[in-house]
Structure 1
């Protein structure tokens, strides 16, 4: 494990963006496999016929590839630039002392209000188009999914990011986030597969951006 960590550090030193991109792709793909398994297991408990209940779990590799490409094409490169740029902006432009409460609070606010919603919008848009939906269908997916996902992830990510911004060096912050993204990608993939679940509609009823 120590050798693996040293190897990762070496890759991050000499190939930072490439390392972040590849690790993001692997973790997001793994998260999607977990989401597929959770969805399959949950569905089995609601199946009526024994024949359906005995269906084996089969990985949808196309979906895994699509989700991995989101990590590869967006989370890896954009996340790398975001955390590096966010740290420089707050240190140099806002001139806040690193690790201070104001420093962490400013990072937390900007990450939650800028990168968080952007990440969700890009994810659901990309997944929609990648699965063959047209623009109007993707728009409906965004109206249905973004607000509930933002509310649910917003209860967890601030806690994770406080520790990240307070204790983790900037060069490792995306790795830290990506480790939790293993769970986040599983959650978002599972969330996206729920379509028009009743609990989504309940959240959507509180969405202030819904058209009346």
Structure 2
């Protein structure tokens, strides 16, 4: 009896400790922050490896020198769309352990953590407002996700990356302007199916990890899109600034 009374008193004391009591409440949030940031960092590393593989293979095929110390390498559309090309690179173990942009990985980890934060509260609120997993409820959730969370996530991603690259708010806005619509059209083709499975079958506490897993794939696409657009813009600028050969005649 005495031991039982002591155990009850100890359990009562544990539940009265504010930090311990709150940790039980916020543990899912902390897990979502860690998973969201961690998987986003994995996606960025994968994207950098794909860019490194593309640049290395292009160098070997054309027998020209390229500076591989920069992570902003050119990735052509043919290389990105050629799945066999990428598989061949990975099969030949064309990996880089010294050319990883640690700053870029940390930056994407911060974005993933921030997205995990607001997605945690968003999905919790959404399940309280739209209860059930019927076809109509799932359709409403998918539409809300594409109207609210999808555009917001893309704007945060591109504006933050643009700001970090240009160190100006104007640069972040211009970066988002140039890349938002191509990415959003791809978003409409990719995420509705993923979110339909999410809302129909995945429990609320697992939704942010589930989304973060697909964010690895999605983030790799965004990074490759960013590299391709940057290369196209550089070519246009070089064409505009190139001297006219007829001017010397």
Provide the TM-score with structure 2 as the length reference: 0.67
1:120 to 154, 157, 161: 154
Listed as ranges, the matches of 1:8-157 within 5 Å are: 15-47=27-59, 48-52=62-66, 57=96, 58-72=99-113, 74-91=114-131, 98-157=132-191
Distance 1:197 1:114 in 2: 30
Q: Distance in 2 between matches of 1:53 and 1:80?
A: 41
User: Quick one: which of 146, 160, 165 aligns to 2:199?
Assistant: 165
1:12–1:191 CA distance, 2 compared to 1 (3 A): farther
Structure with bigger gyration radius: 2
Q: CA deviation at 1:52?
A: 3.6
Alpha-carbon distance change, 53 to 144 in structure 1, aligned in 2, over 3 angstroms: closer
CA distance in 1, matches of 2:161, 2:194: 25
Q: In structure 2, how many angstroms separate the alpha carbons of the residues matched to 1:69 and 1:179?
A: 16
Aligned-CA RMSD value: 2.4
Change (3 A) 1:86 1:46: same
CA deviation vs aligned residue, 1:79-126 (integer Å, no higher than 9, x gap): 1011111111223xxxxxx11111000000000111000000011011
Q: 1 CA distance for matches of 2:205 and 2:41?
A: 22
C-alpha separation in 2, matches of 1:31 and 1:153: 16
- Runs (4+) of structure 1 exceeding 6 A deviation are 53-56
1:14-40 Cα offsets, whole Å, 9 max, x none, are 601111001111100010000011111
Contact 1:44-1:53 at 8 Å conserved across structures: no
Using the size of structure 1 for normalisation, the TM-score is 0.78
Please tell me whether the aligned partners of residues 138 and 199 of structure 2 are also in contact (alpha carbons under 8 angstroms): yes
Say if 1:12 and 1:51 are closer, same or farther in 2 by CA, change over 3 A.
Answer: farther
Q: Equivalents in 1 of 2:172, 2:35: separation in Å?
A: 28
Structure 1 unmatched runs, 5+: 1-10, 92-97, 200-212
